[in-house]
Structure 1
Amino acid sequence: MLNNKILIVTLFLCLSNPILAYSKSQAKCIPAEKNFVACEILAKHGDNEALLILGHFYEIGAGIEKNTEKAEEIYQHLADKNDADGINQLAILKEEQGKQEEAILLYQRAIELGSSSANYNLGLLYKHNKNYSKAKEMFEIAIKNDNSSNAMMSLGDLYRHGNDVEKNMELAEKWYKASIQSGNHFAITRLGMLYGELEKYDEAIKCYQEAIKKGDPSAMNSLGLLYQHGFGFKRDINKAVKLYQDAANKDGIGGLVNLGLMYEEGLGVPKNYKKAIELYTRAYQLGYTDIQLRIDFLKKNFIKNN
């Protein structure tokens, strides 16, 4: 049983949430959640950019109750007007709904209309479906046409893992560094993971510490793993738990699962199966559906004894 758990922990060295590309206007306005009313007024006066932001506010529940149907209605309205960014957002929604073929067609249409995000997003869809050759093609196009830092990072992932390309850590490092130079702080964590896999723990630690300063929960989780297993540090379970908790507080899937494992095993915290299930359930809600088997196992075998 313990071996299976170690495998789960190791998995989260490289698991991170997918990063979709949004329009530049959204990237600027998403944090300003109090602007909902202002965006609504501008949208009513025919401002497509404000309408796009308004759709995203509905999609994520910022400044208004979450309403994905309303968001889809807004994106469809923009798509009917051949707005490339609106079509890109509609494609993202369709993909999240499991409508892969519709999403592909919408991404392709957005690309034809000049979207700066759809090349990368289509590549990400292909990557999730393990069509790595098509993913690589789209990432390379996104880098060439859009200078996409996310595409640089994702291309680095393909080379690091050897997905339909020869595994090449030097090329992976090159693309991670290019992504970082283009302003993508999530690539700092990926570079740290690469160094960790090469057992260059001092360099990995530096990357994780830098990424943590920028608030990346994946870096918190990864540094926690080094403390838990004593790689580059003297083994320190308490520091590992603290880092997993920090990551979990930011809804980092790896942190949620690894903190759950700590509660399940009673490592650095009192053994608590209910708490473990609570953390695993949150990870499931965020998209890590494989954890459902673990949740079911604990409920069946241990929850009555806790």
Structure 2
Amino acid sequence: MSDNEGYFFKAFTGKQSFEEATVEIAYEMEAHGHYSEAADLWARLGQQGNAEARFNLGLLYADGYGVSRDFLRAAEQFRLAAEQGYARAQVELGNLYYSGDGVEEDEAQAMRWYRKAAEQGDPVAMHNIGTMYRDGVGVDEDDKEAVRWFLMAAEKNYALSQYEMGLICADERDEARAIEWFRLSAAQNHEEAQAELNSRGIQ
């Protein structure tokens, strides 16, 4: 039995629709390094309107796995999925607008898509909004608003925001809270958070 036949056999042993089984097969192919075959499946599913497939095909184009790296095509796929309300695609499309890869750099559009994803509870989007307020990118610098967004993401267990909250609490001389946030972040293998703990003699 070939790898592909094995994937199909494994997928169809459960009670799934053809589309669900094909999604599972595509993930299996990616897990085994068969990115080109996965890209073909994601493309087929995407043509049928599957937002998850469009998002994953966008990732492959952005990273150059199984296909030639192409930010323009990545942006096209992310946009299709984002317009269907797929939060992770909204974040990735926001990232492309932020960096100017595949689309014209547009901080307002980056914020727009981050907000759409944040409205669905996506912690990465929340963190990115916090970063834009902290740095004054596309919006007026607003530390209070930045903290509000970092806190929302941190409470959703997003390690990078937990680290940011640790830094914020440390700056406010609240060491107990800072250590608490650094511990939570370090528990997810965030190296800089662990370094902050180490500098305080905490393992």
Q: TM-score range by the shorter chain?
A: 0.7 to 0.9
Does residue 300 of structure 1 match 2:198?
Answer: yes
Secondary structure at the counterpart of residue 250 of structure 1: coil
Over aligned residue pairs, what C-alpha RMSD do you find?
A: 3.1
Paired position in structure 1 for 2:116:
210
Structure 1 residues 203 and 238, CA gap change in structure 2 (3 angstroms): same
How far off is 1:106 after superposition? 5.8
Paired position in structure 1 for 2:181:
276
The question of whether the paired residues in 2 share the 8 Å contact of 1:139 and 1:152 is answered with yes
Structure 1 residues 247 and 261, CA gap change in structure 2 (3 angstroms): closer
How far off is 1:236 after superposition? 2.7
1:190 aligned to which of 92, 99, 117: 92
Task: Report how many residues are paired.
Answer: 190
TM-score normalised by structure 1 residue count: 0.52
Paired position in structure 2 for 1:139:
42
2:106 aligned to which of 196, 200, 211: 200
Structure 1 residues 302 and 147, CA gap change in structure 2 (3 angstroms): same
Structure 1 residues 297 and 180, CA gap change in structure 2 (3 angstroms): closer
Gaps of 5+ in 1: 1-103, 285-289
How far off is 1:202 after superposition? 0.9
Provide the rounded CA distance (Å) in 2 between the counterparts of 1:245 and 1:129.
37
How far off is 1:110 after superposition? 1.7
How far off is 1:222 after superposition? 1.4
Does residue 110 of structure 1 match 2:16?
Answer: no
Structure 1 residues 268 and 259, CA gap change in structure 2 (3 angstroms): farther
TM-score normalised by structure 2 residue count: 0.74
Structure 1 residues 274 and 153, CA gap change in structure 2 (3 angstroms): same
Gaps of 5+ in 2: none
2:56 aligned to which of 127, 151, 154: 154
How far off is 1:111 after superposition? 4.7
Higher relative contact order (CA 8 A, sep 6+): 1
Structure 1 residues 265 and 217, CA gap change in structure 2 (3 angstroms): closer
